[in-house]
Structure 1
Amino acid sequence: MKNLLLAFIGLLLVGCAASSGGGAASDNADYDFNKRAIDILKPKCEKGNYSACNDLAISYQNLKDHKTAQKYYDKACQNNYQLACTNLANMYQSGLGVDRDKNKALEIFNTSCTNGGAISCYYLGDFYRSGDEGKEPDYVAAMSAYERGCKLGDIPSCTNTGVLYENGLGVAQDESKARNIYRSACFSGDSSACDNLKRMGRKR
């Protein structure tokens, strides 16, 4: 569902430049775009605009300066800008520019989710739900994280609570409740919820 958040936002930031063509010209345009963004965002970040710090980190990430990106994600996260916490945790989870450390990622996701980071709740739920690297899924913890993310306004988290209800994972199976959740999430714009709702309709 969601790919690495910082990469996605990075693509949005460089979209206009990247659309101008391919090859070296496009690479130069992307580089120039991100350098200009850094010149604009860095003073704002230094003055305490932590949204700017997050965007500044994305520009450094696009330029493959992961160490500096980590520095600014951390600065914004330490000042309760939760999207930066999510991006920082994703760096540790994927090993993108830092040593891969899933325990560190889990710690950041958990703290951010507790502090109101809705998207961190989504990734926290995914962490507990997955059974990768030999660990057993913890569907009860996944449901708790998704429910919190949903209450904080992250619609894909809502959809995932529906998935757990539909399949009886971590909760008693309740297909009616799953349909209602999918319907609400679909109306809120989550295409995967719409797909799930259609699929369940075909089961009748």
Structure 2
Amino acid sequence: MKNLFILLLFIIYANSSNIDEAKKALNANNYSKALKIFKKECEKNIEGCFYLGLLYEHGIGIEKNINKAINLFDRACGEGDLNACFELGYIYYKNKNYDKAVNLYKKSCGGGKEKACFNLGILYFYGEGVKQNYEKAKKLFEISCNKTEVKGCVSLGILYENGLGVEQNYKRAKQLFEKACNRNEASGCFNLGELYLTGKGVRQNKYKAKELFGLACDGGKEVGCEMYLELNEQGF
């Protein structure tokens, strides 16, 4: 599973032929060859340092070492690798060092990383590392939603559903949840199901709500499974 995860990251980030060679080595469980390539690449360009950092961060073919990952990401980020800035920001976020996470997400988001924009929006939504600001969160969620980060659509929908930083608008919330659900985002299906359950912005339809909760459940959202069973027991 870890091998598949790291390969997915390579598919997203990889640019050079040497990295392609390292991907093939990982796929063949030849970790020593992959490590050798990344270490060599790191000596001459920041891309190799970023991938080497990923291996240390996730313990792929080498003992997990977050401190080494941080050092490698910090070096790559300092030389302009926005992917490294994002990964470093995420490590700091997980460790509740929100001030550093904010600065790194800002840098990565400014360079076009929509996932960084989404994560930065979450920090503004909850007021972690920054003063709580729903208006700024909205702008960041819009950036991520308009690109490929569908979780941004869900968060933006939550703002419209609850009138946070925007005028309350259930129909707009429905559109956003629907967009996310259609892209297989479980939380979008769940939130859309809640609108149908309560009749907010739509005609109340518990059968439709049950269907959407089922999709959320299939997507791994446990509360979706619970709501599906509850409606099922009620005869819907």
Q: Specify the TM-score bucket, using the shorter chain as the normaliser.
A: 0.7 to 0.9
| Within-5 A mapping of 1:62-77 | 65-77=97-109
Higher Rg of the two aligned structures: 2
Structure 2: gaps (5+ residues): 1-56, 60-64
Going from structure 1 to structure 2, the CA distance change for 1:74 and 1:170 (only over 3 Å counts) comes to same
Please, which of 16, 23, 41 is the counterpart of residue 73 of structure 2? 41
Contact 2:184 2:219 in 1 (8 A): no
Contact 1:37 1:59 in 2 (8 A): no
Letter in 2 for 1:106: K
Counterpart-to-counterpart distance in 1, 2:112 and 2:181: 20
Going from structure 1 to structure 2, the CA distance change for 1:108 and 1:132 (only over 3 Å counts) comes to closer
189-198 or 55-64, which moves further after superposition?
55-64
Are residues 1:189 and 2:220 paired?
yes
* Higher relative contact order (CA closer than 8 Å, sequence separation 6+): 1
46-55 or 112-121, which moves further after superposition?
46-55
Note the alpha carbon deviations across 1:59-102, whole angstroms, 9 max, x for none. Answer: 33456654432222022222332221111112222221122222
How many residue pairs were aligned?
175
Please, which of 186, 192, 210 is the counterpart of residue 179 of structure 1? 210
Note the alpha carbon deviations across 1:109-144, whole angstroms, 9 max, x for none. Answer: 1221112221111211122222579x8742112111
> What SS does the aligned partner of 1:158 have?
helix
Aligned residue number for residue 19 of structure 1: none
Are residues 1:58 and 2:123 paired?
no
Deviation at 1:36? 3.1
Letter in 1 for 2:191: N
| Within-5 A mapping of 1:148-159 | 148-159=179-190
Going from structure 1 to structure 2, the CA distance change for 1:103 and 1:166 (only over 3 Å counts) comes to same
Going from structure 1 to structure 2, the CA distance change for 1:96 and 1:188 (only over 3 Å counts) comes to closer
Are residues 1:142 and 2:180 paired?
no
Letter in 2 for 1:36: K
Counterpart-to-counterpart distance in 1, 2:100 and 2:178: 34
Counterpart-to-counterpart distance in 2, 1:164 and 1:73: 32
Q: Name the TM-score, length of structure 1 as normaliser.
A: 0.72
Contact 2:190 2:212 in 1 (8 A): yes
Are residues 1:108 and 2:140 paired?
yes
Aligned residue number for residue 84 of structure 1: 116
Structure 1: gaps (5+ residues): 1-13, 17-32
Deviation at 1:47? 5.6
Q: Name the TM-score, length of structure 2 as normaliser.
A: 0.64
Deviation at 1:40? 2.0
Contact 2:193 2:210 in 1 (8 A): yes
> What SS does the aligned partner of 2:143 have?
helix
Counterpart-to-counterpart distance in 2, 1:99 and 1:65: 15
Contact 1:122 1:146 in 2 (8 A): yes
Counterpart-to-counterpart distance in 2, 1:185 and 1:63: 29
